[in-house]
Structure 1
């Protein structure tokens, strides 16, 4: 019997094309899928405002983003060190402009990276970090830690992708995944304007139960879930721009704070870090 699918919400690409998309949920709740998926997804990343592929610090928004990113980098290093009791072999999938790997390298990690965007790879190389274009180009196995910081939502075939990642982890290796949470209060407030839907670049949209179900099929056990405190403010600021055409810092700050405070009770934050261990 064919599974029944329902439209959870309709939204649009506010960054590049202004095209409309639907987020579809099936009877297996917890994961939404962007529909339709365009054939040429690469063109939807071609925007100067797609900040994760640049190191720009020209506008106030970009300066704030880079400052928060620096703080987040230090927190990421502390996290992997705590989980792994030191250094080891690290693979960062979707490594962007290479900042995380460059910092990890200074802490004696043997680093590897994957980044499809050519401009981002070039910036990475200037920081002394060479990365591959595709996950299948990585010939190494037995990684101590593999990280995907806001990457899994972009992957076309999740099961195949996670299967490869699981095989590359050593026994008891750690997988860290960060993704937005469509059940957060900022998502509920902004609805179709919620910037973390980011269609069609984000193909998948996860709840806590959904991502656990997806990953545990690949011998990966969820150990811990952590909030990403800054994401609610960043996403709210972009959402304000999509909704009103302006970067309303005060309103975004209020909604971001409200979302985090609500998360203390509900445990539903704007984005989560999920820590898995290979069984």
Structure 2
């Protein structure tokens, strides 16, 4: 692997990291990968574990999250059958599972971070620490919303998830796309690199190749339009030290326009099914 970019942890420690390019997979790998990753999540700046509403960008994030919950529950319903069983892996503070449960889904969630699990428990949504604590069952839908990039033992975790998916089930995975316009524009300041919490940085090619090894096939993709705006807002802060809302808005807009032509959006939802059950689309 060759050096692609040098960047740093802008949100917690300020430590420097390298991104190495796996040319075959078209995937970036964070180096070094710390042994104690938990320490890098112990910050109020890590908003997906805190439900923060403190800053203006926090409020934007939470507002977008409310819309996203509606979108996500609608999306999984389009792939549901009579067995509405859902596993959310990396469930954060549990809002998505709560929204799905209200829509009649039988839900289970895994969240390694203790603080996030405690916040979820306060909302009466009990999350499990790891896959081993799950009941021995398969699910119709498995979701990972901006989670895959965090998993230390990537291949083994994917294998476990595929085994938990019913043969006619669907897996939905949302990840940032390092080939997007905003990633190219912001370079080392691109907030979605988020090293070292993000250990892997995916492209459309890498998702297809990584999951093909486990008998999974991408049957559809969907852009996450709001991510380009939020990531650009954070990236502006990392680059200039200021929250330049107007510039971030236009960069996010440019990224989305570019994405409609190139299919390289800031973040992408990949919809996967077991390869022997799907046709090319």
TM-score by length of 2: 0.95
CA distance in 2, matches of 1:30, 1:244: 29
Q: Does 1:243 pair with 2:262?
A: no
Mapped contact 1:87–1:108 kept (Cα < 8 A): no
**Unmatched 5+ stretches in structure 2:** 276-281
Q: How does 1:15-164 map to 2 (within 5 A)?
A: 15-85=11-81, 88-164=84-160
Residues 7 and 18 of structure 2 are in contact (CA less than 8 Å); yes or no, is this contact kept in structure 1? yes
| Residue aligning to 1:199 | 195
**Cα 1:170/1:87, change in 2 over 3 Å:** closer
C-alpha distance in 2 between matches for 1:25 and 1:214:
15
How many Å apart are 1:9 and its aligned residue? 0.7
TM-aligned CA deviation for residue 126 of structure 1: 1.8
Distance 1:236 1:145, change over 3 A: same
Q: CA deviation at 1:87?
A: 5.9
Partners in 1 of 2:220 and 2:141 — Cα distance?
A: 15
Contact 1:30 1:211 (8 Å CA) reproduced: no
Q: Secondary structure at 2:243's aligned position in 1?
A: coil
| SS state at 2:78 partner | helix
| 3-state DSSP of counterpart to 1:97 | coil
Q: 1:215 aligns with which of 188, 211, 215?
A: 211
Where does the alignment leave 5 or more consecutive residues of structure 1 unmatched?
none
Distance 1:202 1:26 in 2: 16
**Structure 1 range deviating more: 96-105 or 139-148:** 139-148
What is the rounded CA distance, in whole Å, between the counterparts of 1:24 and 1:68 in structure 2?
Answer: 32
- RMSD over aligned Cα, in angstroms? 1.1
1:225 aligns with 2:215: no
Following superposition, the deviation at residue 116 of structure 1 comes to 1.0
CA distance in 1, matches of 2:81, 2:228: 30
In the superposition, the TM-score normalised over structure 1's length comes to 0.96
CA contact (8 A) 2:44 2:52 kept: no
Mapped to 2, the partners of 1:238 and 1:141 lie a distance apart of 40
Structure 1 segments of 4+ aligned residues over 3 angstroms from their partners = none
> Residues 250, 87 of structure 1: CA spacing in aligned structure 2 closer, same or farther, 3 A cutoff?
farther
Alignment-derived partner of residue 163 in structure 2:
167
1-structure distance, mates of 2:74, 2:96: 12
